[in-house]
Structure 1
Amino acid sequence: MKTNVSAPSTIISVKSIALESPERGEDLLVKISAPTTGDNLPIILFAHGNGSSLDGYAPLTDYWASHGFVVIQPTFLDSRTVNLAHDDPRKPRIWRFRVDDMKRILDQLDLIEAAVPGLSGRTDRSRIAAAGHSFGGQTAGNLLGLRVLNPETKKEEDLSDSRIKAGVLFATAGLGGDSLTPFAAEHLPHLNVSFTHLTTRTLVIVGDQDDLPQKYQLTVRGPDWMYDPYLLSPGAESLLTLFGAEHLLGGISGYEVKETTDENPARVALIQRVTSAYLRHALDIEHDSWLAVQKSLSEDVNPIGRIESK
């Protein structure tokens, strides 16, 4: 599939920028990647999946940065690089620490930009998107309007952020309740969510062979569980279904990473183009590339995915 995309730009990446975070027990480490040229650059705040870090997801983040986005990646407390003890008292609230970390980044954009040579004054803070994979999808989803039934208070809390104007959710968990296994209901109560208030413009990406949640005893359902964020969120306006894709969607979590069970460079390339085009559309930068990628995929005689919209 071919689309009209601009040539990639040279990028600069800086890590690890430390944000003081006394309430989380240790500094929040952040990586930022950006094109070396250009002004009014939109921002993508990316939330990694369980156990990953700011070093993950280069196939996505490098592409986005080389195509005109400033990409900010935090390392959350569940990262293997942090290595929290099994009995660490922060563990039950990691889902909430993740959301707080994302908001802390938004609060400290001046400091973050200043840490990257030549970046200050070149971003467009009226155009910020949140994206995330797996557990990171729920994290980003909270900023978009997804609500977690707080395991401690038994109430839904609005953690959305008006600074976020668009989102992309990759392989993100669906409803809780009866959809959860007894194990998940007991040990992962933060999976009890509501999509009713997710009204921010969002693209949902799923693999139609994504059975990883069953492997980890999260849901009694199959891959259809991952469609809930699209079907149940008012703001989820478009869905990219990848044929034959599993939880890592062809290899988005890194180059040649061993956990990829469905390595497929063409699939990753499609995700790169679709997400970049969608975010440029949803952030009202330009709309031609989103129309072009949809047209090209619909006309492909042997497509590897399908885009549909409400």
Structure 2
Amino acid sequence: MRCLCWLFWLALFPTAAHAASPITLCEGVWLDATRSRSVPVRIRMPAGREKVGVILFSHGLGGSLDAGTIWAHAWAEGGFAVVNVQHEGSDSAIFGKPGFKSALNGEQLAARARDIQFVIGELGRRLLEGPCDLQRIDLNRIGVAGHSFGAQTIQAIAGQSFPVKIEPPLSDPRLRAAVGLSPSPPLTGSPESAFATIRIPFLSITGTADAVPFVTPITALQRQQPFRLMPPGEKYLLVLKDGTHEMFAGQLFRTTLNGEPTPHIRNTVIATTLAFWYATLGHDKRALQWLQSPTGLRAGLPPGDFFESK
């Protein structure tokens, strides 16, 4: 089945969608001396010499720099610098070990948020990472995205509040927008209080089959809760029929069973997120109208999918 929203988006943004310009790929391991912590990064820089906005991506529990590859590549082709961040203590090194699910905790969440804050700071301090010219990054146009535990990380960075005051805060005023793929209720405390303080533009993406009961009891319906409880103001919710948790990781797996996204889910996530980034980091009025108009994105979705905004 063709995705009508994808075709409509191609008509609005043909240059970005078809450019497929060469992407410079760089990797490094940055040391946060204040925490004695190494933070691996993978950077994708779009072609050109002009200033570009930047998107940081946080992987889920047991993930790595490979998480979000599909999304990161599309965003870089769309004209953004993209930085995948790997989080020690909740990355692939723990996957398959006894008790690995215990890493899904507040301490690791805070460490992850500090990783994102650290990388943002380094992007403003470093000139180069290999052949990647970091001086091209416009630090006035910073977005963050994440999947699963990475989405919880993004929620914290975007302004989520916690039952116990955390100093310094996990939220970061340098951010302009956030995308949560498979977002979640808070680990502890009141969901109403947690999400009432997220005021920046936020796009939540989930599916009707977005659950991993062997890891967490969070249901697919509960993944809509962050959107429902955030205050109005450029908040969006995309729900895709039959979308599984693994599909939203945006990763290339060896097997396709419930792993890589279907063409429809892949194209719809790419189209929606790029429009969101253009609207929030690029101040593109056409993209904003496509997201918010009844005749825009929601009008092109097939039965079973739905999109809301407030």
Q: TM-score range by the shorter chain?
A: 0.7 to 0.9
- Per the alignment, do residues 258 and 23 of structure 1 end up closer, same or farther by CA in structure 2, a change over 3 Å counting? farther
* 2:53 aligned residue (39, 42, 46): 42
Question: Which residue number corresponds to residue 168 of structure 1?
Answer: 179
- 2:269 counterpart SS class: helix
Distance in 2, Cα, partners of 1:105 & 1:84: 28
SS class of match (1:20): strand
Deviation at residue 254 of structure 1 after TM alignment:
1.2
1:146 aligns with 2:121: no
SS of aligned partner of 2:114? helix
Q: Provide the C-alpha distance between the structure 2 equivalents of 1:201 and 1:177, rounded to a whole number of angstroms.
A: 23
Structure 2: which amino acid aligns with 1:279? W
Distance 1:224 1:36, change over 3 A: same
* Equivalent residue runs for 1:123-138 within 5 Å: 123-138=137-152
Matching residue of 2:208: 208
Residues 26 and 121 (structure 1), Cα distance of their counterparts in 2 relative to 1, 3 Å cut? closer
Equivalent positions of 1:87-106 (< 5 A) are: 93-106=107-120
Q: Structure 1's 86 and 49: CA in aligned 2 closer, same or farther, altered over 3 A?
A: same
From 131, 137, 140, give the equivalent of 1:117: 131
CA change 1:259–1:25 in 2 (3 A) is farther
Deviations 1:105-158 (A, max 9, x none): 011114555114252432211010111111000111111101233xxxx44664
Q: Which residue in 2 is equivalent to 1:28?
A: 39
Give the gaps of 5 or more residues in structure 2.
Answer: none
1:282 aligns to what? Answer: 280
Q: CA deviation at 1:258?
A: 3.6
1:175-186 to 2 correspondence within 5 Å?
A: 175-176=186-187
Report the alpha carbon displacement of residue 59 of structure 1 after superposing the two structures with TM: 0.7
Question: Given that residues 171 and 247 in structure 1 are in contact (C-alpha distance below 8 angstroms), is that contact kept between their aligned partners in structure 2?
Answer: yes
Q: Which residue of 2 aligns with 1:182?
A: none
Instruction: Give secondary structure in 2 for the equivalent of 1:147.
Output: coil
Offset of residue 175 of structure 1: 4.3
**Structure 1: runs of 5+ lacking an equivalent:** 180-190
Secondary structure at the counterpart of residue 14 of structure 1: strand
TM-score normalised according to structure 2 size = 0.82
Distance in 2, Cα, partners of 1:58 & 1:228: 26
Q: Check if 1:218 corresponds to 2:217.
A: yes
Change in CA separation of 1:177 and 1:118 when aligned onto 2, cut-off 3 Å: closer
User: Do the aligned partners of residues 65 and 303 (structure 1) sit closer, same or farther apart at CA in structure 2, a change above 3 Å counting?
Assistant: farther
* CA distance in structure 1 between the aligned counterparts of 2:117 and 2:288, rounded to whole angstroms: 28
Measure, in 1, the Cα distance between the counterparts of 2:96 and 2:208. Answer: 33
State the superposition RMSD in angstroms: 3.0
The aligned counterpart of 2:268 is 270
Q: Distance in 2 between matches of 1:131 and 1:97?
A: 16
Q: Which secondary structure does the structure 2 equivalent of 1:143 belong to?
A: helix
Q: Cα distance, 1:99 vs. partner? A: 0.7
Q: Does 1:247 align with 2:277?
A: no
User: How far apart, CA to CA, are the structure 1 residues paired with 2:119 and 2:81?
Assistant: 13
Is contact 2:61–2:91 with CA below 8 Å preserved after alignment?
A: yes
Shift of residue 203, structure 1, vs aligned partner: 0.8
Give the match for residue 13 of structure 1: 25
Structure 1 residue 193, shift from structure 2 partner:
7.6
- Identical residues among aligned pairs (%): 24
Counterparts of 1:56 and 1:176 in 2: how far apart (Å)?
22
Q: Which has the higher contact order (CA 8 A, sep 6+)?
A: 2
Question: Which secondary structure does the structure 1 equivalent of 2:119 belong to?
Answer: helix
Figure out how many residues of one structure are paired with residues of the other and give that number: 289
Call closer, same or farther: CA 1:289–1:116 in 2, change over 3 Å.
farther
Identify the residue that residue 61 of structure 1 maps to in structure 2: 72
1:227 corresponds to which residue? 224
- When residues 301 and 14 of structure 1 are mapped into structure 2, their CA distance, relative to the original with a 3 A threshold, is closer
For residues 301 and 143 of structure 2, the distance between their equivalents in structure 1, rounded to whole angstroms, comes to 32
SS of the aligned residue for 2:243 comes to coil
Question: Which whole-Å CA distance do the structure 2 matches of 1:103 and 1:259 have between them?
Answer: 34
Distance in 2 separating the partners of 1:156 and 1:192: 18
Q: Give distance in 2, aligned partners of 1:279 and 1:148.
A: 27
TM-score (norm 1): 0.82
Tell me the secondary structure at the aligned position of residue 139 of structure 2.
strand
How many angstroms apart in 2 are the aligned matches of 1:58 and 1:240? 20
Q: Secondary structure at the match of 2:244?
A: coil
Task: Output the CA distance in 1 between the equivalents of 2:187 and 2:248.
Answer: 27
**Of 65, 81, 84, the match for 1:73:** 84
